[in-house]
């Protein structure tokens, strides 16, 4: 956790997304509890509609199952769903 940081421009991107009223979610291959801690520590000023880390039931990315589950939960068609990666 000590060496984890946001990539340049991410905080500004989040602000722009919020300003446009777009729903936001996080999908990570890292363990779910760890992701919740990271979001609380690194991104406390943004309210995400969904945060999902790995927990065994969902295959790891790049498998689309997790992203599709989030799109269903948020009621966003996969055709209208934008997926941004950090690597």
Residue 67: give its domain's CATH number. 3.40.50.1000
Higher pLDDT, 11 or 3: 11
Whether residue 67 lies inside any domain: the answer is yes
Structure tokens at 7: 């990539």
Alpha helices in 1-87 (DSSP H): 10-19, 32-42, 65-73
User: Average pLDDT, whole number, for the chain?
Assistant: 93
The residues, any chain, with a CB within 8 Å of residue 31's CB and separated by 6 or more, are 53, 54, 55
Whether residue 47 lies inside any domain: the answer is yes
Whether residue 85 lies inside any domain: the answer is no
pLDDT band at 1 (very low <50, low <70, confident <90, very high): low
Whether residue 2 lies inside any domain: the answer is no
Which tens digit of pLDDT belongs to each residue from 50-86? 999 998 889 999 999 999 999 999 999 999 999 888 7
Domain assignment of residue 70, given as a range? 10-80
For the chain, how many structural domains are there in total? 1
Lowest-confidence pick of 1-10, 40-49, 57-66, 71-80:
1-10
């Amino acid at each position: 956790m000590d060496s984890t940081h946001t990539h340049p421009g991410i905080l500004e991107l989040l602000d722009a997304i919020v300003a446009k009223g777009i729903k936001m979610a996080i999908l990570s291959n890292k363990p779910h509890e760890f992701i919740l801690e990271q979001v609380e520590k690194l991104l406390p000023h943004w309210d995400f509609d969904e945060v999902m880390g790995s927990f065994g039931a969902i295959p790891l990315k790049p498998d689309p199952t997790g992203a599709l589950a989030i799109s269903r939960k948020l009621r966003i068609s996969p055709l209208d769903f934008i997926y941004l990666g950090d690597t």
